[in-house]
Each structure stands twice: as C-alpha cells, then as structure tokens.
C-alpha cells in the first residue's frame, strides 16, 4: 500500500539515501538537507510503501518545494511562488505513478498554503499533465537556461507574475553553480 504524507524527522536518512541513489552527484540530497536546515523546505512529502498495515513502511519517493521569487516580488511570503525540486522515486518502482501522486499532492499542499504560482525545471511531457506550461511566454526565465523545460503553473487565478524576469530559487540552489 502506498501513502503520500509529509516527511517526519525519522524519514531524513531514507530521504538522503533515496536522493543519493537517484542523483549521481548527490547534489539533490545536499540541497534538500540545506533547505531543511535553513527553514526553506516549504513542502516535503514522501511516498511510503507498506507491505501490510502492521509492518513498517519504506520511503520510496520524495518531493520538495521551496520558495522562489522574481525581481519585482519580495517579502511578504504571499508574494512568493514555489519551485519544485527535486523529485525522486526508487529506481525499482518507477513508472508506477508514484511521481505523479507526489506532484499532485505537492501542488494541493502548495495551494492549501496559499502559494499562487510554482515553477519546475523538468521534462515538459511529464509536467504538462498537471497544467505546467513553458515560462518564457509569460516573461519568466531561469538562471539555468532551461528553455521549454523551465515551466510555470498558476495555482491561484491572477497570481502568476507576468514579464517579471528571472525567477530566483532559494540561495541553497547555488550548490548547482558550484559543481
């Protein structure tokens, strides 16, 4: 049985191991740890697999969301959007809908928290099913030159910033510039 739920402290070693297994440079594992330590891990959900209700669960997936902003948007928090990164699923369980369930649950949670928009740098064919669209027609771009892979989703009508320029991820994402 698969359950999607918020991470708890006991999940942290399993989340680290999963991200290390899914991403060869382990940067995503370091990123999630740094976001957590800084208080900028806005949403972190895990997919937990249980063989039975009585048995212990195993973390087989994780998704993280952290704040993003544009030059025209600053604090307070309601002016922020969120960025999805990373999402990881156990290699033996891919293509079984786990990532889809994680993304949908994360989007629902971001809406509940009042975020109006989100971005992702990922496979357009996968994220399109959730309503993501390329960000550049809205006047938004990323520092990684993601092109069509840098996508945006409006979570609340009228909340998406238009022609706002470069979307900035949390400072912890500088780890990707260092590598």
pLDDT in tens, 19-56: 999 998 999 999 999 999 999 999 999 999 987 676 67
pLDDT on residue 78: 43
DSSP 22-57: HSTT-HHHHHHHHHHHHT---EEEEEEEESSSSSPE
pLDDT on residue 76: 44
Residue with tokens 């209700």: 53
Which residues touch 97 (CB under 8 Å, ≥6 apart)?
A: none
Distances (CA, A) of 12 to 19, 44, 127, 128, 147: 11, 11, 26, 30, 33
Reported confidence tier of residue 137, pLDDT bands at 50, 70, 90: very high
Confidence of residue 134 (pLDDT cuts 50, 70, 90): very high
CA 158 to chain centre: 22
Tokens, residue 5: 């739920």
**Concatenated DSSP letters of 60-81:** EEEEEEEEEE-TT--SSGGG-E
Query: What b/e string do you get for 18-51 counting C-beta neighbours within 10 Å, with b at 16 or more?
Result: bbbebeeeebbbbbbbbbbeeebbbbbbbbbbee
CA distance readout (Å), 168 to 10, 19, 53, 68, 120 = 31, 23, 42, 5, 12
What is the pLDDT, as a whole number, of residue 17?
96
Query: pLDDT tens for residues 120-130?
Result: 999 999 999 99
Determine the pLDDT at residue 31: 96
Is the model's pLDDT at 75 over the cut of 50?
no
- In this prediction, residue 73 has a pLDDT band, given cuts at 50, 70 and 90, of low
CATH class assigned to 2-178: alpha beta
Q: Which two tokens stand for residue 69?
A: 């902003």
pLDDT exceeds 80 at position 77: no
């Amino acid at each position: 049985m698969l359950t999607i739920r918020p991470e708890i402290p006991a999940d942290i070693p399993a989340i680290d191991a999963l991200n290390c297994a899914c991403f060869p440079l382990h940067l995503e594992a370091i990123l999630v740890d740094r976001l957590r330590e800084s208080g900028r891990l806005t949403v972190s959900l895990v997919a937990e697999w249980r063989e039975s209700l009585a048995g212990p669960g195993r973390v087989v997936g994780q998704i993280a969301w952290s704040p993003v902003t544009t030059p025209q948007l600053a604090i307070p928090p309601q002016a922020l959007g969120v960025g999805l990164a990373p999402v990881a699923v156990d290699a033996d369980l891919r293509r079984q809908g786990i990532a889809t369930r994680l993304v949908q649950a994360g989007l629902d949670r971001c809406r509940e928290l009042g975020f109006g928009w989100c971005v992702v740098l990922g496979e357009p064919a996968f994220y399109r099913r959730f309503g993501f669209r390329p960000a550049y027609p809205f006047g938004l771009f990323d520092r990684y030159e993601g092109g069509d892979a840098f996508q945006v989703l409006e979570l609340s009508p009228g909340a998406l910033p238009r022609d706002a320029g470069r979307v900035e991820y949390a400072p912890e994402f500088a780890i990707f510039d260092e590598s």
